[in-house]
Structure 1
């Protein structure tokens, strides 16, 4: 028989390794159910964005939780909403910046990236871009969001998937999609990556053409193949998830899992995601923790391949660490 206290201690060890501080922030629930009524959960949690960029997701989730009868604001055990940019930042900064958030609870949603070129570009499709990137990675200028964040990671994954020299990828990051679009249209880059929701206006106005989307399935209303269809084994979303504090305890974690599982199964969550241009990506409990371990490894690996970190030594251990800790 497995002792529940031993299981809890092992999980805390896995989540805290490398940092001792960190970790931060489909359908399915790998968590064991705890007998309890919904009414018993209604005053247990508050929901907060880690940074302003996560505020919309946190508000949407909190609003739906309140509608379902849960206390999702004010006092209570805090759930922090953050995502892939926070993971990447922690890796780049030796785990600094996400102190005290080490209990994975649930993946909530994600944004799909789109690869675009100016309308007049000689690159007619993704195959043209891929061929150029493979032949001349250092001369194929790329742009998108800040260096080391999801758009940059995506181009690194694409280069690696093509077999190009990832360290030669020439990428210039900008603080906003508007600035990246200005650079692309001014001829300062051959292609750009960014959330479809942020490029949709320029695509609709005919200023840029979409060559591919990063998700496993095509985006409704957009005539562009997936990277998988284009021969690159990359399925990528800029995901957002909920995490608990490092001291929430096993009982608190189980209550949080039940709440997230309940809320993410509501039709309102899919509707909220559709309204804001997100993909609903519900994944709860142990299933989320296992997935997160693979995402940590992938992110750390591509940051290393891009030359942004010196080694693949662990600095964060969200989910199963797999580094001998």
Structure 2
């Protein structure tokens, strides 16, 4: 049985009150079909582009996207929302919204300056294991995808993740400045963000986070380096916690149709996103494992000290 409760953090407000970035039609949109009406919005600025693309491709697939009630609300959110909920003692995404479909994922890269003494991932990994507190790492904000990736790498190598020296920056530009300025030994981030520096040979890629090598990039995967990590900064579509079974089914069908369309595939290529479609019960099962993995990494990093509890904000013990 799906668990659906009130969304405690900002995403819930977006779902129920229409906060965040919402894209609505004014008047008739596309070839209207008997498929339901949808209001599609972003759970935060970082997902605004994907949400806008979902709106456009849904309309091109014949779906009505409008702000006129009644509508089925769909919100685009992603991995950072999982970590933020846990670090703020909030309810998990499974407990606060209705999972619909996974949409896209950004491949992450581990990079070092072009002049780094680390010629490959093995050399970097050996140093990280031997001196985790002396290996200065950089990436996005603390607890975000880049930080989580370094936590997974440390655990995979057998290093003490609590001892790694990580500095989070607002964006990849800040991390790049730190890395090239000698303030960091290595950095992690989305491949699309680091492409200019990679192409300009300012940085070298030691490994990619995906199970398969990235197209056009001569760099091994973490799996090839013996680190059992397959990781992406993903985003997904979810509905409100009060979503009916009929509305859920209609929204999942919309996501499936859009993700299978040529327009969506073309938009993903243009946006530098990897389409990783997964919907319905399969997505909910995957999301359960992703929540568990995220919590485990946050604990390994020392960002989540709560022992294995299942109430997560719904009890009176401050969990």
**TM-score, reference length from structure 1:** 0.85
Instruction: Identify which range, 73-82 or 226-235, moves more after superposition.
Output: 73-82
- Aligned mates of 2:46, 2:123 — CA distance in 1: 34
Matched, 1:39 2:22: no
Out of 286, 289, 295, the residue aligned to residue 290 of structure 2 is: 295
Aligned to 1:320: none
- CA-to-aligned-CA distance 1:236-277 (integer Å, 9 cap, x gap): 000000000111211111111111111111122222111111
Out of 206, 223, 226, the residue aligned to residue 228 of structure 1 is: 223
- Aligned mates of 1:236, 1:276 — CA distance in 2: 19
Aligned to 2:22: none
Aligned to 1:282: 277
Q: Please tell me whether the aligned partners of residues 117 and 192 of structure 1 are also in contact (alpha carbons under 8 angstroms).
A: yes
Give structure 1 stretches of 5+ with no counterpart: 1-9, 26-37, 318-325
Aligned to 1:30: none
- Aligned mates of 2:302, 2:254 — CA distance in 1: 40
Out of 309, 312, 315, the residue aligned to residue 313 of structure 1 is: 309
Compared CA separation, residues 196 and 135, structure 1 to 2 (3 A): same
Q: Please tell me whether the aligned partners of residues 212 and 224 of structure 1 are also in contact (alpha carbons under 8 angstroms).
A: yes
Relative CO higher for 1 or 2, CA cutoff 8 Å, sep ≥ 6?
1
Give structure 2 stretches of 5+ with no counterpart: 16-31, 314-319
- CA-to-aligned-CA distance 1:88-123 (integer Å, 9 cap, x gap): 101111117989951000000010111000000000
Aligned to 1:186: 181
Compared CA separation, residues 46 and 100, structure 1 to 2 (3 A): farther
> Segments of 4+ in structure 1 off by > 6 A?
22-25, 96-100
Q: Please tell me whether the aligned partners of residues 79 and 244 of structure 1 are also in contact (alpha carbons under 8 angstroms).
A: yes
- Aligned mates of 2:310, 2:135 — CA distance in 1: 31
Out of 66, 69, 72, the residue aligned to residue 59 of structure 2 is: 66
- Aligned mates of 2:176, 2:8 — CA distance in 1: 37
Q: Please tell me whether the aligned partners of residues 227 and 234 of structure 1 are also in contact (alpha carbons under 8 angstroms).
A: yes
Aligned length: 291
Correspondence list, 1:130-279, <5 A: 130-279=125-274
Out of 10, 30, 41, the residue aligned to residue 48 of structure 1 is: 41
- Aligned mates of 1:298, 1:124 — CA distance in 2: 30
RMSD, matched Cα: 2.2
- CA-to-aligned-CA distance 1:208-252 (integer Å, 9 cap, x gap): 111111011111111111101111000000000000011121111
Compared CA separation, residues 166 and 93, structure 1 to 2 (3 A): same
Report the 3-state secondary structure (helix = DSSP H, G, I; strand = E; otherwise coil) of the residue aligned with 1:291.
Answer: helix
**TM-score, reference length from structure 2:** 0.86
Aligned to 2:99: 104
- Aligned mates of 2:158, 2:304 — CA distance in 1: 20
